[in-house]
Structure 1
Amino acid sequence: MNKIFESAASALDGQVKDNMLLACGGFGLCGMPESLIDALAETGVTGLTVVSNNAGIDGIGLAKLIERGQIAKMISSYVGNNKTFEKAYLAGEIELEFSPQGTMSERLRAGGAGIPAFYTKTGVGTVIAEGKKHEEFDGETYIQERGIRADVALIRAEKADYQGNLLFRKTARNFNPMMATCARLTIVEVEEIVPNGAIPPDQVHTPGIFVQRIVKAAVPKRIEFVTNRQENA
């Protein structure tokens, strides 16, 4: 199977549709599949439910989809630093489901592992728990969270070989590996495509069996907040 595609647009061709559930990697701008998101914006699909730690930042990433009215619902942990999302949410143009970071990560992992639901103490007694099933274990109250199964996952890695084995660089791993396992179809953009065997087996963070399509990133990695050390006077 040839998993390498010439462009983000060709990798998405025929695989995205209205009202699908999309998992999108990234923590802020770190590990965010910007090339794929830009290509997704151009498809014009709408009614998307997107699982992502945050909704990008103004003018970058998922914020572009929000600006175009393509996202109907976000399942996220953090939506700060994003006036685009704030404006859409307050106007009633987008729905938000808060999911604590650890819970969201486990929901993705559970979906990939075939686990339909699990219990956690996180969120008990808060708005997170409203409408969810409660159970007691060993005298403690837990809430039920559902695993997440996505139609498509869009992720970003440092390297991929031709079989789709992935290596992530440092914190760019964030939610990307879990999203790769929980989706029907996983599309990855990478900094570098290397020959099979070039990634040592013990450095493969996501096995190629979870990856169906690969494209070289067309957008360079961004730095969300640049902090420079002051020179000594």
Structure 2
Amino acid sequence: MIQKKYENAAQAVEDIKDGATLLVGGFGGSGLPSHLVAALVEQGAKNLTVVSNNIGAVSDGVAALISNNQVRRIICSFPVGPHADELIERLQNGTIELEIVPQGTLAERIRAGGAGIPAFYTPTAAHTELGEGKESRVFNDRLHLLEQAITGDFAFIKGHRADRWGNIVYNKTQRNFNPVMATAARITIAEVDEIVEVGEIDPEIIVTPSVFVHRLVKLEPQREGTVLVNG
């Protein structure tokens, strides 16, 4: 078991190497581990394969990694929008590969990776362009596609509160892709708003057990003018 660390985001991501596969939690801006992503932009690892539901805004999320020429391949559900111009440009010049995966299939591929299931069949995307070239089989008179599990070298997740062992609870819609991604990576790094002592979190509300969390980063409140905001 890797020793859990309570450090700043820069220290938490410093050993991510070129060519790593990275899972990034969040659904839009909800539950996005933006401080860890920003730290990786500063760290500069390149040729990354990034798995995320969407690419985010140009200044935030996976789009920031794209802007910094750190991404070689993206696996996501929602790459479109006004923030996708740089992605489209890189797709056209061949510097980035894009794999679009239906949202439910993406979540299940990650969940399967965390559960040790190498592949599964689903009817989603059968008879569409997304299903072209994939192994298929008929179950109950319906065509199903074989989908491969997804795992990562690292996962970035965002939680609300953790104890010092790494047991995590989430605030409302933070509980999107973060829990499944935590199980599917060799090293999971969590940014949280608060770290408390073991026993201060009701075990019944823990969503991600500490066995899946290797590093914790507590977000420090930042002052903007006279208003205290939580980063």
Which of 100, 103, 109 is equivalent to 1:101? Answer: 103
Letter in 1 for 2:29: L
Q: Secondary structure at the match of 1:74?
A: strand
Please list the CA deviations of residues 103-154 of structure 1 after superposition, one character each: whole Å capped at 9, or x if unmatched.
Answer: 0000000000000000000000111111110001121110000011111001
Structure 2 counterpart SS, 1:104: helix
* Residue of structure 2 equivalent to 1:22: 22
Aligned equivalents of 1:117, 1:52: Cα separation in 2: 19
Task: Name the counterpart of 1:63.
Answer: 63
- Residues 9 and 39 of structure 1 are in contact (CA less than 8 Å); yes or no, is this contact kept in structure 2? yes
Distance in 1 (alpha carbons) for counterparts of 2:115 and 2:221: 32
Structure 1 unaligned blocks of 5 or more: 221-233
CA–CA separation in structure 1 for the residues paired with 2:219 and 2:186: 22
Gaps of 5+ in 2: 223-231
CA contact (8 A) 1:187 1:213 kept: yes
Offset, 1:63: 1.2
In 2, distance between residues paired with 1:207 and 1:29? 24
1:38 pairs with 2:34: no
What is the alpha-carbon distance in structure 2 between the residues aligned to residue 20 and residue 4 of structure 1?
20
Return the letter of the residue paired with 2:4. K
In 2: Cα distance, 1:80 partner to 1:202 partner: 38
Aligned residue among 178, 184, 192 for 2:194: 192
Helix, strand or coil for the counterpart of 1:88? helix
Match of 2:12 in 1: 11
**Structure-1 separation of matches of 2:39 and 2:57:** 17
Counterpart-to-counterpart distance in 1, 2:43 and 2:129: 35
> Which amino acid counterpart does residue 52 of structure 2 have in structure 1?
S
TM-score (norm 1): 0.90
Q: 1:147 to 1:44 in 2, by over 3 A?
A: same
For residue 96 of structure 1, report the CA deviation from its aligned partner.
0.6
Counterpart amino acid of residue 182 in structure 2: A
Give the whole-Å Cα distance in 1 for the aligned partners of 2:28 and 2:88: 16
Structure 2 Cα separation of the partners of residues 28 and 102 of structure 1: 15
* Distance in 1 of aligned mates of 2:42 and 2:200: 34
Secondary structure (helix, strand or coil) at the match of 1:124 reads coil
1:195 partner amino acid: E
Q: How does 1:177-188 map to 2 (within 5 A)?
A: 177-188=179-190
Letter in 2 for 1:63: A
Among 131, 135, 144, the alignment partner of 2:137 is 135
Report the secondary structure of 1:4's partner residue: coil
Write the distance in 2 (CA, Å) between the matches of 1:132 and 1:96: 16
* CA distance in structure 1 between the aligned counterparts of 2:194 and 2:25, rounded to whole angstroms: 18
Q: How many pairs were matched up?
A: 219
Change (3 A) 1:219 1:154: farther
Is the 2:58–2:67 contact (alpha carbons within 8 Å) kept by the matching residues of 1? no
What's the RMSD between the two structures over aligned residues?
Answer: 1.5
Indicate which of 212, 216, 219 corresponds to 1:217: 219
What's the CA shift for 1:155?
Answer: 0.6
Contact 1:161 1:196 in 2 (8 A): yes
Deviation of the 1:84 alpha carbon = 3.0
CA distance in 1, matches of 2:128, 2:28: 25
